[in-house]
Structure formats: C-alpha cells, structure tokens
C-alpha cells in the first residue's frame, strides 16, 4: 500500500524527511504500509488550523441540520465502500472479516445517528420571576482531540468524531500507530467534503510523541481518549495543566454472572462470544465468569465443548478467533498464562497456537482457567486476550461481591430467569452497562457506554455523548416596562 500521510489543514502532509513507522498485518506479520511519526510542529499546525476553521464565518454559518446532512453523506459513503473498509480493518487489526464488516456498519450507524441528532440538542427555559427570561443554550467546546485505540479503530473514530462534529466542533484524530488505515480512508472523504479545511484532521505516530503533544496542547478544548488506565492517567495529568476536560474509556474486567436458574445453553453462547470477540482484545470483554455452584459442572462442560469447536486463523479467512495484534501484546498474554498455570487449573487452552501459512502472526489458544484466587493478577488485571477466568459463588450476595471486586466497572452480564434476581443484581453491580440474559460487549449505538471506577470518566455513545462536546451557557434577559 502507499504510505499513509496525515491530513492537516486540508493538505496531505508527510515527505521523505519525515520519520516513518512501519505498519504490519497481525495475521501474518507482513508489512502493510508506513505512517508519519508526527513532530511537534505538525501538532501545532493542526491545532491552529482547527482553531481557525472553528472560528471561521464559514463554519459558524453552518446550520445544525446542515452538519447533520454532511454526516449522513458520510454514513452513505461508508456503506458504499463497506467491503473495502472491512478488508482494511481486517488487515490492520487482524480481526475476522465478518467482525470487521460489523464494525463498518456500526461506524455508518454512528454517523447516521448523530446526523439525526445534530439539530436536536436543546436548552431549557428556567422560571425565575416575572420580568426575567432565563434560558440555557449549548455551545460547542471548540477544538476536540480524539485519541483512538488499535482494537476498534473505525468504530471508535466514528463514535466520537460524529458526536463532536454534530455539535459544531473542529476535531483532530490521532489514530493508533498499529491501525491507521480505516481512519485514513475516512480522512480522504473529509478532504473532499464541503466542510471547511481544518474541521477534520488526522495525525499519526507514536502515543509518546504526537499523542503527548496533542493532549498537552494549551489550545485543545476537550479530549476523548480510549486506552489503558496508566495512559489515561497520563492524559488526565497533561489535560489538568490546561484545565482541559476529558472523556476517558479505560477498559474493564467484566463479569458474566450465571445463576442456577439461567438458560444454560443461551448463557454459554453469550459467555463464549463475550470473550472471543476480536480475540479478547476488547475493553468490554466478558473476561470473568461467576457461576453458581449448583450449575457449575454442567455449565463448565458446555463451555469446554464450545471452546473445543472454535477455529483460529487469519482474519481474512473468517475464523472464530484471529491473531493478537503484535508481539508485545502476545508475550504479555503468554506471561499471564504462565501465572495461571501456577496459581490455577487450565480447563482448556493455555498456550500459543500455530496457524498454517501464518508463521509471522501471533496466535493464542482460547483459554479457560479455574481455581484462581479472586485476588490473583489474572482476576484483577485486564489481560486483553481470549482468556476466561472462572469463580464460583453460593448466593447472590457473594456473586455481587465478586462482581464488584476489581478496580474496574465497565460492563456486566446477568443470566437468570428470575426477574427479582436479575434486577436486584443489576442494581447492585457497579458497572456502566448491565446486560440481562444477553451480553452486548458495549454494543448499541444508542446506548450510553462508559464505566465506574478505573473504567473511566464520562459516557460515549447515545444522545448522552453529545454533552461531552458542548458547554452550557445560561442567559438571563430582563424585560418589562418598569
């Protein structure tokens, strides 16, 4: 593929004097392309261009519904090019092509949803006293920075960019160095669109360089970041120096809670899908199973049978499980598996996997680990791979205690056919999303998504996300003849 240049102020930036970073196909290790490792001056140029575009009369004259119309055009463009985009996402991330296709449709839906919402974010009138009209209005933040992770690049770009542009902001997207291809594809549309230059810009490079420059820039008005807790803390610290508001989605250690009255077949399917999607490289992955001791043995037998039927392979061949993104992440997961062998019992998997004609890829056998302490690193830390840890409970209070027993609180699944059990559990679990008799893995364009505790700050998706990108202004008008 041709080198990926950055879109800054409507121009494609990157020359032979730039530092270039190689990008690889996780499925087989083959080189895909190269990206620019942006310098400080690139970020300064992007921020100043965004500021100029945001404050321009051309952009200020855009009516909300006109912003929505442009976002709808982008949604249509994504669907028209869905197969090419799905292949790029599959090559870049390594995920099965069917999952990549689902991601492309989700990206289109984000732009479609926020296109319809662009002219529907309204303020209020507040009754104060006769002769005083008091109203609230929402105004765009200004220049917003979007730091995109590598596991769902087109979805996460779409979900925040669509909301930010719908509310009238200028956006700068910094894609992950491993997965820039689909964001670059969207940048090509923005470069040819009717939007003013600088309203959408795409910069590339390492998080420690352009990413750090961007989040610490004094002229950024809002930051949306998805990634690890440690990096999220660094983003917050950098933003704090400029009192810049942040929206953070920092991962999870999400439980599926299976009660003894659950439909075990449906629950088993949900538990498996929740941990194998994108090879477990999902912030909302159901990485812990909490199972009632009354159904423990039959349920684990069902899980082992399902795991044994899973296929592993290159993303383009559409297996159940694709590769791990890179060598660093692969070795990290293997290190966790070694701990699991020492501290627990491997019910299935627990090792690297070999895939024919994909020697350069990094593959892990889907793994089930039992017998761990709830305080184990494997029970407490986000592994970010196809690794499921098992814990047994005796009653509902013990289940809730286990579910809440980590620093995370992103998603939870509750499997029970008893309405009292299901709703009581949902009310007590400290998680941003609770699924009853299903597990959406953060799915649902309209559903607010975010977490408690170290899973982050704020909510993305749904109508709620629009509030990340606006400021509330109160206006009081005195009227009357006196």
pTM of the model: 0.96
Query: Is residue 324 in some structural domain?
Result: yes
3-state secondary structure the chain: CCCECEEECCEEECCCCCCEEEEECCCCCCEEEEEECCCHHHHHHHHHHHHHHHHCHHHHCCCHHHHHHHHHHHHHHHHHCHHHHHHHHHHHHCCCHHHHHHHHHHHHHHHHHHHHHCCCCCCCEEEEECCEEEEEEEEECCEEEEECCCCCHHHHHHHHHHHHHHCCCEEEEECCCCCCHHHHHHHHHHHHCCCCCCCEEEECCCHHHHHHHHHCCCCCCEEEEECCHHHHHHHHHHHHCCCCCEEEECCCCCEEEECCCCCHHHHHHHHHHHHHHHHHCCCCCCCEEEEECCCHHHHHHHHHHHHHCCCECCHHHCCCECCECCHHHHHHHHHHHHHHHHHCEEEECCCEECCCCCCCCEEECCEEEECCCCCCHHHHCCCCCCEEEEEEECCHHHHHHHHCCCCEECEEEEECCCHHHHHHHHHHCCCCEEEECCCCCCCCCCCCECCEECCEECCECCHHHHHHHEEEEEEEEECCCC
CATH of the domain at 367: 3.40.309.10
Same domain, 27 and 141: yes
Same domain, 45 and 64: yes
Same domain, 93 and 240: yes
Query: Is residue 385 in some structural domain?
Result: yes
Query: Is residue 482 in some structural domain?
Result: no
> Is 249 annotated in the active site?
yes
Same domain, 394 and 345: yes
Determine which one of 89, 177, 283, 382 is catalytic: 283
Residues of the chain with pLDDT under 50: none
Same domain, 338 and 231: no
Same domain, 40 and 91: yes
Same domain, 37 and 52: yes
pLDDT for the residue numbered 444: 86
Query: Is residue 449 in some structural domain?
Result: no
**What digits encode the pLDDT tens for the residues 72-108?**
999 999 999 999 999 999 999 999 999 999 999 999 9
pLDDT for the residue numbered 16: 72
pLDDT for the residue numbered 17: 79
Determine which one of 34, 249, 382, 460 is catalytic: 249
pLDDT for the residue numbered 15: 83
**What digits encode the pLDDT tens for the residues 108-150?**
999 999 999 999 999 999 999 999 999 999 999 999 999 999 9
> Is 19 annotated in the active site?
no
- Closest by CA to 228, choosing from 252, 251, 253, is 251
pLDDT for the residue numbered 354: 95
Same domain, 262 and 154: no
Q: How many domains does the chain have?
A: 2
Residue 422 lies in domain: 255-444
Same domain, 128 and 45: yes
- Closest by CA to 225, choosing from 283, 293, 142, 182, is 283
Same domain, 26 and 78: yes
Query: Is residue 232 in some structural domain?
Result: yes
Same domain, 212 and 312: no
Query: Is residue 1 in some structural domain?
Result: no
Query: Is residue 479 in some structural domain?
Result: no
CATH of the domain at 234: 3.40.605.10
Query: Is residue 66 in some structural domain?
Result: yes
Same domain, 210 and 266: no
């Amino acid at each position: 593929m041709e080198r990926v240049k950055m879109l800054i102020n409507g121009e494609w930036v990157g020359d032979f004097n730039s530092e270039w970073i190689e990008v690889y196909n996780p499925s087989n290790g083959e080189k895909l392309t190269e990206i620019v490792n942006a310098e400080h001056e690139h970020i300064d140029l992007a921020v100043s261009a965004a500021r100029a575009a945001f404050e321009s009369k051309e952009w200020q004259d855009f009516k909300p519904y006109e912003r929505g119309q442009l976002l709808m055009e982008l949604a249509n463009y994504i669907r028209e090019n869905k197969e090419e985009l799905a292949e790029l996402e599959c090559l870049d991330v390594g995920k099965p092509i069917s999952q990549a296709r689902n991601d492309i449709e989700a990206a289109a839906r984000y732009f479609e949803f926020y296109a319809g919402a662009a002219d529907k974010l309204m303020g209020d009138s507040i009754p104060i006293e006769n002769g005083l009209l008091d109203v609230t209005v929402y105004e765009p933040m200004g220049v917003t920075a979007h730091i995109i992770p590598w596991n769902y690049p087109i979805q996460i770009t779409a979900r925040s960019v669509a909301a930010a542009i719908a509310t009238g902001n200028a956006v700068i997207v910094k894609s992950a160095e491993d997965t820039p291809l689909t964001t670059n594809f969207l940048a090509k549309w923005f470069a040819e669109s009717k939007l003013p230059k600088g309203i959408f810009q795409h910069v590339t490079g390492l998080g420690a360089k352009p990413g750090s420059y961007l989040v610490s820039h004094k002229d950024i008005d809002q930051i949306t970041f998805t990634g690890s807790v440690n990096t999220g803390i660094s983003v917050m610290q950098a933003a704090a120096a400029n009192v810049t508001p942040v929206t953070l989605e920092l991962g999870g250690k999400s439980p599926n809670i299976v009660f003894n009255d659950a439909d075990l077949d449906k629950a088993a399917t949900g538990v498996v899908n929740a941990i194998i999607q994108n090879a477990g490289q999902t912030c909302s992955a159901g990485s812990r199973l909490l199972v009632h001791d009354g159904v423990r043995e039959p349920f684990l037998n069902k899980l082992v049978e399902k795991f044994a039927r899973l296929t592993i392979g290159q993303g383009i061949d559409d297996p159940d499980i694709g590769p791990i993104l890179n060598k660093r992440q692969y070795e990290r997961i293997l290190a966790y598996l070694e701990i699991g062998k020492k501290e627990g019992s491997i019910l299935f998997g627990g090792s690297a996997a070999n895939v024919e004609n994909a020697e350069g890829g990094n593959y892990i056998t889907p793994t089930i680990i039992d017998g761990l302490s709830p305080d184990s690193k494997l029970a407490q830390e986000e592994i970010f791979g196809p690794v499921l840890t098992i814990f047994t409970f005796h009653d509902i209070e013990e289940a809730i205690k286990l579910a809440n027993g980590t620093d995370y609180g992103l998603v939870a699944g509750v499997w029970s056919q008893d309405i009292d059990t299901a709703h009581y559990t949902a009310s007590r679990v400290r998680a941003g999303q609770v699924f009853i008799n299903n597990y959406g893995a953060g799915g649902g364009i309209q559903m607010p998504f975010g977490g408690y505790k170290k899973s982050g700050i704020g909510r993305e998706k749904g109508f709620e996300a629009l509030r990340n990108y606006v400021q509330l202004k109160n206006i009081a008008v005195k009227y009357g003849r006196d």
